[in-house]
Amino acid sequence: MISIRLETLLRNSLTRRQFGQGGMALGATLAASPAFALTEERARKLVEAVVADIFRVINSGRAEASMLREFERIFARYADVDLIARRTLGPDGRSASNAQINAYVSAFRGYISRKYGRRFREFIGGSVEVTDAYAEKSYFVVRTRTQLQGQAPFEVRFLVLTRNGQDKFFNLLIEGVNLMLAERTEIGAMLDKRRGNLDQLIADLRTFG
């Protein structure tokens, strides 16, 4: 009951957004076509697609450097990297120029892909299975049961939204640990170490991870 209401609310708010962006005619078409509103089914499909792509790379047996480049492509395709990166800057991002933000987003994309990509070897012989999906606030949560070899299964939640007509995930929670917050903590500490020098951080991030 509650989930149906949330979904309706979400659908209405997304539709309003599209009215603003695409004009009345397009908005009316979108409102009539449920395919344009994010649904549990689509959120679930996005997660299944990103998981399938990741395992394809892991099982390809390529060299690590080539795998890491593939992971960066997958991250760019399925994640709202721009939003994740901006959020990790927090209020420090307010004083940055557009050029700095763009450079940061690009450096962050590579850093995250390398940092977590190196650990995807732990996923060899493992599996990620979608268990359920539900609406929460203005996004969808897709829950998965992740099983790595020789370990107890654990829960990974993908948070999925639609922006400019594209479905993307914008956060991951591993057994409750919010990865965006973990990275914001890390980036904040790196910035402190560089006395708030964002350009220095951007240059260093290009080589980190």
Partner 1 sequence: MLKKLLLILVLPTLAACAAGPRDANGVLDPYEGANRAMHAVNKGLDTVALRPAAAVYGGVLPKPVRDGVNNVANNLELPGDMINNLAQGRLDNFGNNFFRLIINTTLGIGGIFDPAKSFGLDHEDTDFGETLFVWGVPEGAYVELPVLGPSTERGVVGRVVDAALNPLGVILNDDQEDIASGVSIGRTLDMRYENRDLINSTLYESADSYAQLRLLYLQNRRFKLGDGEIADDFDPFGDPFAQ
CA distance 117 to 111: 9
For residues 122 and 129, which CB has a smaller minimum distance to partner 1 in the complex? Answer: 122
Using CA atoms, how far apart are residues 88 and 21, in angstroms rounded to an integer? 27
Binding region for partner 1 (CB under 8 A) out of 23-31, 40-48, 56-64, 85-93: 85-93
Angle (nearest 5°) at CA 66 between 82 and 99: 25
Min. distance of Cβ 129 from partner 1 in angstroms?
18
Q: Does 5 bind partner 1 (CB under 8 A)?
A: no
**Closest by CA position to 161, among listed 34, 20, 25, 47:** 47
The yes or no reply on residue 182 touching partner 1 (CB under 8 A) is: yes
Among 70, 72, 80, 167, binds partner 1 (CB under 8 A): 80
Question: What secondary structure does DSSP assign to 39-69, as a single string?
Answer: -HHHHHHHHHHHHHHHHHHHTTT--HHHHHH
Between the CA of residue 161 and those of 141, 171, 177, what are the distances in Å?
Answer: 9, 10, 19
17 binding partner 1? (CB under 8 A): yes
Greatest distance between any 2 Cα atoms in the chain: 55
Interface with partner 1 includes 159 (CB under 8 A)? yes
> Residue 59 has which token pair?
């099982």
Nearer to partner 1, 127 or 188 (CB): 188
- Residue 175 interacts with partner 1 (CB under 8 A)? yes
Considering only the stretches 27-35, 48-56, 58-66, 186-194, report the one whose residues sit in contact with partner 1 under the rule CB under 8 A.
186-194
DSSP state of 118: G
Among 1, 119, 164, 195, binds partner 1 (CB under 8 A): 119
Binding residues (CB under 8 A) for partner 1: these are 17, 80, 83, 86-87, 89-94, 119, 122, 136-139, 141, 150-151, 157, 159, 161, 163, 170-171, 173, 175-178, 180-182, 184-186, 188-190, 192-193
